[in-house]
Chain A
Amino acid sequence: MAIKDRMSGNEAVAYAIKQINPDVMPAFPITPSTEIPQMVSNYIANGEIETEFIPVESEHSAMSATIGAEAAGARSLTATSSAGLALMWEELLLAASNRMPCVLALVNRTLSGPININCDHSDGMGARDTGWIQIYAENNQEAYDNFLQAYPIAEDPRVHLPVMICQDGFITSHAVENIELMEDAPVKEFVGEYCPEEYLLNPGKPVAVGPYSVSNYAMEARKNQADALLAAKKVILEVAEKYEKISGRKYGFFEEYRTEDADYIMLIIGSAAGTAKQAVDDLRDQGKKVGVLKLRVFRPFPADEIVEALKNCKAVAIMDRTESYNGNGGPLGSEVCAGLYRRKADVASVNYIYGLAGRDFTVNHVYDIFAELEDMVENGKEVEQFKYIGLRD
């Protein structure tokens, strides 16, 4: 039986952590993710879970301790945002290259500067090439559902990689919305006990984690790791299918919303996808053939699947909530364009930068973008291929 409730995105993730009852959580507070370790600490103080909470002196230490605990054989996690993730940078790469199936609850917040506490994806996107699996949520429900799927993906022997479960800071993390929670028992059964095959605190079976590697081995090790990330694609879909059986909620690499006959598609990540869906409904009422492709899994990047989903439309608006400072495109824009080109899919595209540092993104922006795509295709209007929306200029 689903439990109908209302809670914020941070509460939803903390509740998922409570239901999983992981072994170790080292964490250091940073807005807007602070509530997650705070709420988990409350659960621990109230005797509701047995998780060992480690207060650390920095995010660098938080990630180090998470890796250490995971290597020792404990199911581990941490939570952070923005500069906290940046301070974890070195360890993020180690978590992935040492094949640690730990989980990080990322509450997306912009990176400085100017210093600002609000949402964009510069933290998560900055860490896109660290070897982590990255899954993004539209709302509190998805943050909860994604979190419950994190360990079954990470701990699968075909994967053994860390997973970052991302939600939009404040917009999702601090917004109270309706949610359907699972009962504890099916969650416990779904996530399962953590029984690693190899771990440090295993008497009689010594193991060395993270040894120095000479060049003769290091390149092969990277390829080996990259293949595991690719193998995660299959596992992500299997876990989603299993989760659908117990929750009734369907997940994949992305959600296709009214795209099947769409001339124009907006490809977008996170909470703004909900706003885009509402705008699509409004425009459909006016007879416009528009749709939304909401990307859930950014790493591993499902390039083939995205191209397949986009190939029949006339133009796509690729939405990036971060600035890459390269004058060429945001991370999503660049990767999707590369995918389209490599697969010879002739789809026009415009890469929009939106919502930086909490700049609001509204249905009106979505209307404007679809109107611009149509003008470009139907009337040959020249549109910059890489531009900002919602900017004073």
Chain B
Amino acid sequence: MRTDVSKINEKTRHQDLTEGLMMFAGGTSKEFNTGEWRTNTPVVEWDKCRQCLLCAPVCPDSSIPVKDSKRLDFDYDHCKGCGICAAVCPFNAITMKEGK
């Protein structure tokens, strides 16, 4: 029953879909470039950022990667530009830029 879900797309015939549209893989959302939906883009001004890390946990799309206790730049493949990070930043280090 296990099928390669990456081979299923909007052209797939009904006979070739998985039972109950079950997904036989984990974390498949990474495969989708949902950052394409973004109309506003957050930008970090690194000289203002104090690495307080308040932004990372509030991101609904887990698009603020954290490594060695420091946030990195946005994962723009999955950031949808909601602006929550900009709103919580105490140092106004994140600004929302129009467009991608």
B20 contacts A225, C-beta separation under 8 Å = yes
Bound CA–CA A309/B13 (angstroms) = 36
**Would you give the shortest CB distance from A305 to chain B, in whole angstroms?**
25
A217 contacts B10, C-beta separation under 8 Å = yes
**Dominant SS at the B interface?**
loop
Q: Which residues of A contact B27 (CB under 8 A)?
A: 206
- Contact residues, A76-99 vs B (CB, 8 A): 97-99
Bound CA–CA A98/B18 (angstroms) = 10
**Would you give the shortest CB distance from A227 to chain B, in whole angstroms?**
8
- Contact residues, B23-39 vs A (CB, 8 A): 23-28
Bound CA–CA A198/B27 (angstroms) = 17
On chain A, the number of residues with a Cβ less than 8 Å from chain B's Cβ atoms is 25
Contact of B1 among A98, A197, A208, A210 (CB under 8 A): A197
Bound CA–CA A182/B72 (angstroms) = 67
B22 at interface (Cβ–Cβ under 8 A)? yes
Bound CA–CA A206/B22 (angstroms) = 10
Q: Which residues of A contact B2 (CB under 8 A)?
A: 197-198, 205
A206 contacts B13, C-beta separation under 8 Å = no
B69 at interface (Cβ–Cβ under 8 A)? no
A221-B14, A224-B14 in contact; A198/B21 too (CB < 8 A)? Answer: no
Q: What residue in chain A is nearest B15 (Cβ atoms)?
A: A224
B17 at interface (Cβ–Cβ under 8 A)? yes
A206 contacts B14, C-beta separation under 8 Å = no
Bound CA–CA A116/B51 (angstroms) = 67
Q: What residue in chain A is nearest B19 (Cβ atoms)?
A: A99
Contact of A220 among B1, B12, B19, B24 (CB under 8 A): B12
B15 contacts A157, C-beta separation under 8 Å = no
**Would you give the shortest CB distance from A332 to chain B, in whole angstroms?**
29
B17 contacts A217, C-beta separation under 8 Å = yes
On chain B, the number of residues with a Cβ less than 8 Å from chain A's Cβ atoms is 18
A206-B26, A207-B22, A211-B23 in contact; A221/B10 too (CB < 8 A)? Answer: no
- Contact residues, A103-160 vs B (CB, 8 A): 157, 160
Q: Which residues of A contact B22 (CB under 8 A)?
A: 98-99, 198, 207-211
A157-B1, A198-B1, A205-B2 in contact; A221/B17 too (CB < 8 A)? Answer: yes
Q: What residue in chain B is nearest A223 (Cβ atoms)?
A: B14
A220 contacts B13, C-beta separation under 8 Å = yes
Contact of B10 among A99, A197, A216, A225 (CB under 8 A): A216
- Contact residues, A171-207 vs B (CB, 8 A): 197-198, 205-207
A207-B22, A217-B10 in contact; A224/B1 too (CB < 8 A)? Answer: no
Q: Which residues of B contact A207 (CB under 8 A)?
A: 22-25
Q: What residue in chain B is nearest A196 (Cβ atoms)?
A: B1
- Contact residues, A211-244 vs B (CB, 8 A): 211, 213, 216-217, 219-221, 223-225, 227-228
A206 contacts B25, C-beta separation under 8 Å = yes
Q: Which residues of A contact B20 (CB under 8 A)?
A: 97-99, 209-210, 221, 225
Bound CA–CA A157/B24 (angstroms) = 16
Q: What residue in chain B is nearest A225 (Cβ atoms)?
A: B20
Q: Which residues of B contact A98 (CB under 8 A)?
A: 20, 22
B24 contacts A221, C-beta separation under 8 Å = no
Bound CA–CA A236/B23 (angstroms) = 28
Contact of A213 among B1, B12, B21 (CB under 8 A): B21
20 contacts across the A-B interface (CB closer than 8 A): A98-B20, A157-B1, A197-B1, A198-B22, A206-B24, A206-B25, A206-B26, A208-B22, A209-B22, A217-B10, A219-B14, A220-B17, A221-B17, A221-B21, A223-B14, A224-B14, A224-B15, A224-B17, A227-B14, A228-B19
A221-B14, A224-B19 given; name 20 further pairs at CB < 8 Å: A98-B20, A99-B22, A198-B1, A205-B24, A206-B24, A207-B23, A207-B25, A208-B23, A208-B25, A208-B28, A210-B22, A211-B23, A216-B10, A217-B17, A220-B17, A221-B17, A221-B20, A224-B14, A227-B14, A227-B15
